[in-house]
């Protein structure tokens, strides 16, 4: 390697900041996008906050199912707050630069909260499995201590691995460009900027994705296969409808989140494209958290009744 090539590689590999291109290819829509994302952010904050409030105040919702729902709503607020404020800042100021440290921090929190969502959705499916398949043992199995332990485990379970994965990604040399073809610091677009052979890092990403995405999803499928079998064996149509209504909302959320996340992280690198990655990421980082409160409130009679009582009191 010549001295000039060494200096050039050294300059690129010590990148101090990245450029989040985001939606820069739509210059005429920057103001409109800022307005749309601002409204979406407010909807997410208000909708999930409302669920947290009613599950805390209404005595009828002091059950494990709604304890996990409150945790899930708190998670959604944190999850979108990792990416949306940065998107709004970039759209408002048109300054798309982000320091390497800020980029690594954003990725780390995004991955940790993503892992938490996978675990929490699996825990919620287990709660529904016990409630429907073993109703007599439900109060004993899902007591308050167990619920707290499952919730805490979901929140902290992914921290060590995701911190390690973030450090591994940002230990790479970046010699192609510092322009990220995305609206936040995610693994696929960052890996695309790395120079040299990234095969080992890609395998590491797949293994972590299998651990935090595929395994919880399989557990959820097993839980729901048993739930559906139990529901079909109920003697009355009313009983079947009531049992299914308690878990249908959760099943819709699971399919929306895991479907888009699986396509993003488990498909081969050769099939990745900036446009598809951005579209899928929008789906599981913004669209799904926006619809979750509506899915849970409109499809759950207890939540609807609690909302009606809350607004009537006001």
| Partners of 18 in beta bridges | 98
pTM: 0.88
Token digits for 237? Answer: 């149509």
| Least confident range of 15-19, 112-116, 131-135, 307-311 | 307-311
Is 1 within the bounds of a domain? Answer: no
Is 2 within the bounds of a domain? Answer: no
Is 106 within the bounds of a domain? Answer: yes
211: CATH: 1.20.1070.10
In this prediction, residue 2 carries a pLDDT of: 47
Is 193 within the bounds of a domain? Answer: yes
Please compute the mean of the pLDDT values over residues 89-99 and round it to a whole number. Answer: 92
Instruction: Give the count of domains, the chain.
Output: 1
Is 72 within the bounds of a domain? Answer: yes
Q: What strand order describes the sheet that includes 97-99?
A: 97-99, 17-20, 179-180
Within 13 Å of residue 26, how many CA atoms lie on the same side as its CB?
Answer: 12
Is 3 within the bounds of a domain? Answer: no
Please compute the mean of the pLDDT values over residues 226-240 and round it to a whole number. Answer: 80
Is 284 within the bounds of a domain? Answer: yes
Comparing C-alpha atoms, which of 123, 129, 174, 187 is closest to residue 149? 123
Is 28 within the bounds of a domain? Answer: yes
Buried b (16+ CB within 10 A) or exposed e, 198-225: beebbebbeebbeebbbebbebbeebbe
Q: What residues make up the domain containing 139?
A: 12-313
How far apart, in Å, do the first and last CA atoms of the chain sit? 73
Distances (CA, A) of 38 to 49, 84, 224, 253, 295: 16, 8, 36, 23, 21
């Amino acid at each position: 390697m010549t001295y000039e090539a060494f200096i050039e590689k050294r300059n690129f590999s010590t990148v101090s900041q990245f450029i989040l291109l985001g939606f820069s290819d739509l210059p005429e829509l920057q103001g409109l996008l800022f307005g749309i994302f601002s409204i979406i952010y407010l909807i997410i904050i208000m909708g999930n906050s409302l669920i947290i409030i009613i599950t805390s105040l209404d005595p009828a919702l002091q059950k494990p199912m709604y304890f996990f729902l409150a945790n899930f709503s708190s998670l959604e607020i944190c999850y979108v707050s990792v990416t949306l404020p940065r998107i709004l800042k970039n759209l408002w100021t048109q300054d798309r630069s982000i320091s390497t440290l800020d980029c690594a921090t954003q990725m780390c929190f995004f991955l940790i909260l993503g892992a938490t969502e996978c675990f929490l959705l699996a825990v919620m499916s287990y709660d529904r499995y016990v409630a429907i398949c073993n109703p007599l043992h439900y109060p004993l199995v899902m007591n308050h201590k167990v619920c707290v332990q499952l919730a805490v485990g979901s929140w902290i379970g992914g921290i060590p691995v995701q911190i390690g994965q973030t450090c591994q990604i940002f230990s790479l040399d970046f010699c192609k460009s510092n322009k990220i073809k995305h609206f936040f610091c995610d693994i696929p677009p960052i890996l695309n900027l790395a120079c040299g052979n990234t095969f080992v890092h890609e395998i590491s990403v797949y293994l972590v994705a299998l651990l935090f995405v595929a395994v919880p999803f399989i557990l959820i499928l097993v839980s729901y296969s048993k739930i559906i079998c139990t529901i079909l064996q109920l003697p009355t149509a009313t009983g079947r409808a009531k049992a299914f209504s308690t878990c249908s909302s959760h099943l819709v959320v699971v399919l929306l989140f895991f479907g888009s996340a699986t396509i993003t992280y488990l498909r081969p690198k050769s099939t990745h494209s900036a446009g598809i990655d951005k579209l899928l990421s929008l789906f599981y980082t913004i669209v799904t958290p926006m619809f979750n409160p509506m899915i849970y409130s409109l499809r759950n009679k207890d939540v609807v009744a609690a909302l009606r009582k809350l607004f009537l009191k006001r």
